[in-house]
């Protein structure tokens, strides 16, 4: 099967004063047609640079990338016709109304809203009651829906969404991911980036990215399953004290707060009893240790630790 997006050994550096910063350090991955592919990483991981290269806005220092078999450097005009891009920052005309923005983007792609209405109907119908409102006056979630509608209006075959859910409330985020799943059913390849680890499970496959490098690419289940170390949830009366004690222990690879528990990743499969015995010596009250199933976030923290070592 042909790949929809193919990225091979992309390197991008920025020079700032005398320092050079590697925003993308030899990135390679492939996305198949109709896949919902997530790029997950904290701020500054290089996600936006990658998106800008793929949407032909930025030139890479070295490496090649193709979108639907078209080279991002040579065939930029063709790529601009078939891809939809929604940047992380809301960048539609704030002083134009919802319907004016949509019409405008439809016409510059040489199409009309009516022609592709079926594709955006699901999303657009939610903001249609406000279609004469200026885009700048919409709420965050509505802006997101409008931006997605505008990115879809020319029926792109590949959709690039750069941090679409950043700054959007939990309910709207959930809705947004549902919309993406429905778009995927239409056969559109979707490349989406997000700093939220919990959103990884919504993707078909994810790439975990950190400081310009991809740490792993797998399905969300695959990533969790590849997590081999023992992981526990620990709580006690004095949580801060507990965290310090956990971090200073030899057996513990990593410890960090996660909800009401501290998540503890053990180095070499040490048992719960061993950890418990250690913490008893530190006189922790109301000590509770539970088995925990690793989440994507746990995997990310662990991979990050391994990369740093």
Distance in Å, CB of 136 to another protein, minimum: 10
Given the structure tokens 């700093």, which residue do they identify?
195
**Cβ contact 180:197 at 8 Å:** no
Interface residue with another protein, options 96, 239, 303, 304 (CB under 8 A)? 96
Nearer to another protein, 93 or 256 (CB): 93
Distance in Å, CB of 151 to another protein, minimum: 9
* Per-residue contact flags (x/-) with another protein for residues 55 to 94, judged by CB under 8 A: xxxxx----------------xx--xx-x-x-x-xxxxxx
**What residues from 141 to 200 belong to the interface with another protein (CB under 8 A)?**
150
Stretch that binds another protein, among 51-59, 125-133, 198-206, 228-236 (CB under 8 A): 51-59
| Per CB under 8 A, 29 contacts another protein | no
Alpha-carbon distance 170 to 190, whole Å? 21
Interface residue with another protein, options 75, 104, 155, 274 (CB under 8 A)? 104
Nearer to another protein, 93 or 130 (CB): 93
Nearer to another protein, 85 or 300 (CB): 85
Interface residue with another protein, options 20, 62, 107, 305 (CB under 8 A)? 107
Nearer to another protein, 99 or 200 (CB): 99
Given the structure tokens 């091979």, which residue do they identify?
8
Distance in Å, CB of 163 to another protein, minimum: 13
Nearer to another protein, 158 or 252 (CB): 158
**What residues from 108 to 137 belong to the interface with another protein (CB under 8 A)?**
108-110
Distance in Å, CB of 54 to another protein, minimum: 10
Stretch that binds another protein, among 102-110, 115-123, 175-183, 224-232 (CB under 8 A): 102-110
Output 47-52 pairs: Cβ under 8 A, ≥24 positions apart: 47/162, 47/163, 47/193, 47/209, 48/88, 48/162, 48/163, 48/193, 49/12, 49/23, 49/24, 50/7, 50/10, 50/24, 50/193, 51/85, 51/87, 51/160, 51/162, 51/191, 51/193
User: How many residues touch another protein (CB under 8 A)?
Assistant: 29
Alpha-carbon distance 37 to 190, whole Å? 6
Nearer to another protein, 91 or 271 (CB): 91
Distance in Å, CB of 293 to another protein, minimum: 40
Nearer to another protein, 104 or 130 (CB): 104
Residues that bind another protein (CB under 8 A): 55-59, 76-77, 80-81, 83, 85, 87, 89-96, 100, 103-105, 107-110, 150
């Amino acid at each position: 099967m042909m790949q929809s997006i193919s990225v091979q050994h992309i390197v991008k550096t920025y020079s700032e004063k005398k320092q050079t910063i590697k925003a993308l350090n030899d990135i390679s991955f492939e996305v198949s047609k109709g896949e919902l592919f997530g790029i997950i990483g904290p701020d500054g991981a290089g996600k936006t640079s990658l998106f800008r290269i793929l949407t032909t806005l930025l030139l890479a220092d070295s490496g090649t990338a193709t979108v639907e078999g078209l080279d991002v450097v040579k065939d930029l005009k063709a790529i601009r016709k078939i891809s939809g891009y929604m940047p992380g920052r809301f960048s539609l005309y704030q002083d134009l109304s919802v319907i004016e923005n949509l019409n405008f983007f439809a016409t510059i792609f040489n199409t009309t809203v009516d022609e592709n209405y079926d594709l955006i109907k699901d999303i657009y119908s939610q903001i249609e009651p406000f279609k004469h409102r200026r885009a700048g006056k919409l709420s965050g979630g509505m802006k997101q829906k409008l931006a997605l509608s505008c990115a879809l209006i020319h029926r792109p075959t590949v959709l690039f969404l750069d941090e679409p859910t950043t700054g959007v409330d939990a309910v709207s985020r959930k809705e947004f991911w549902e919309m993406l799943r429905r778009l995927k059913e239409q056969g559109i390849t979707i490349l989406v980036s997000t700093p939220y680890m919990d959103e990884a499970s919504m993707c078909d496959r994810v790439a975990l990215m950190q400081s310009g490098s991809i740490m792993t690419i797998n399905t969300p289940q695959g990533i969790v399953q590849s997590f081999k170390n023992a992981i526990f949830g620990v709580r006690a009366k004095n949580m801060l004290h507990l965290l310090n004690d956990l971090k200073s222990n030899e057996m513990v690879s990593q410890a960090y707060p996660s909800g009401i528990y501290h998540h503890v990743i053990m180095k070499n499969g040490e048992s719960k009893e061993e950890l418990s015995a250690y913490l008893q010596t530190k006189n922790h009250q109301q000590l509770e240790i539970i088995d925990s199933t690793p989440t994507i976030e746990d995997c990310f923290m662990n991979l990050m630790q391994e990369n740093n070592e």
